[in-house]
């Protein structure tokens, strides 16, 4: 008989209590490991989604840059015309005053290219930093 905190304990009671405590600790460790596995899966999925998003943004930025910058440059060089003037003449000749203002006041697609290029750079930076952290941990 052992007396602990004013209570008399037999050896069987102490053994039973220590066994319960060990099982409880083991159960906690398993649950913590399970959480870590799920967190790793979630991070893996997150990285894959960001990688796909980055590739899509890069493709959109390249296509947009081609149609906004490179194609007009090539056409003006090839045919010796200014594509901006031709577009303005077509708009003015084919519509009345309010329609011309509405159509010619559209948002510039140069911002579209810049935004998607920025999203591409941010995605690449995130993926590089994530890989760097993973390799050094």
More confident residue, 106 or 64: 64
More confident residue, 1 or 127: 127
In tens, the pLDDT along 20-56 reads 877 777 676 666 556 566 667 777 888 999 999 999 9
User: Does the pLDDT at position 91 exceed 60?
Assistant: no
Task: Confirm if 68 and 109 have CB atoms less than 8 A apart.
Answer: yes
More confident residue, 95 or 4: 4
Give the pLDDT confidence score for residue 93 in this predicted structure.
56
Q: What is the CA radius of gyration of the chain?
A: 33
Task: Confirm if 47 and 127 have CB atoms less than 8 A apart.
Answer: yes
| Domain residue limits, the chain | 37-136
User: Does the pLDDT at position 95 exceed 60?
Assistant: no
Q: How many residues does the chain have?
A: 137
Task: Confirm if 19 and 26 have CB atoms less than 8 A apart.
Answer: no
**Could you tell me which of 53, 57, 61, 58 has the C-alpha nearest to residue 109?**
61
Question: Which 3 state secondary structure label does DSSP give 95?
Answer: coil
120 pLDDT band, cuts 50/70/90, is very high
When mean pLDDT is compared across 20-34, 73-87, 92-106, the lowest value belongs to: 92-106
Give the pLDDT confidence score for residue 34 in this predicted structure.
60
H or E stretch at 7: strand 7-9
Distance CA 55, CA 127 (A): 12
Write down the pTM of the prediction. Answer: 0.55
More confident residue, 4 or 11: 11
């Amino acid at each position: 008989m052992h007396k602990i905190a004013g209570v008399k304990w037999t050896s069987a009671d102490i053994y039973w209590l220590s066994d319960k405590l060990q099982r409880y600790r083991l159960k906690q460790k398993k649950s913590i490991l399970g959480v870590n596995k799920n967190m790793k899966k979630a991070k893996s999925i997150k990285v894959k989604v960001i990688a796909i998003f980055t590739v899509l943004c890069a493709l959109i930025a390249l296509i947009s840059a081609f149609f906004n910058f490179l194609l007009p440059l090539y056409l003006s060089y090839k045919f010796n015309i200014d594509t901006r003037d031709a577009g303005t003449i077509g708009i003015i000749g084919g519509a009345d005053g309010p329609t011309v203002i509405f159509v010619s006041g559209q948002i510039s697609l140069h911002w579209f290219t810049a935004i998607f290029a920025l999203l591409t750079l941010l995605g690449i930076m995130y993926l590089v930093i994530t890989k760097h952290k993973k390799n050094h941990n």
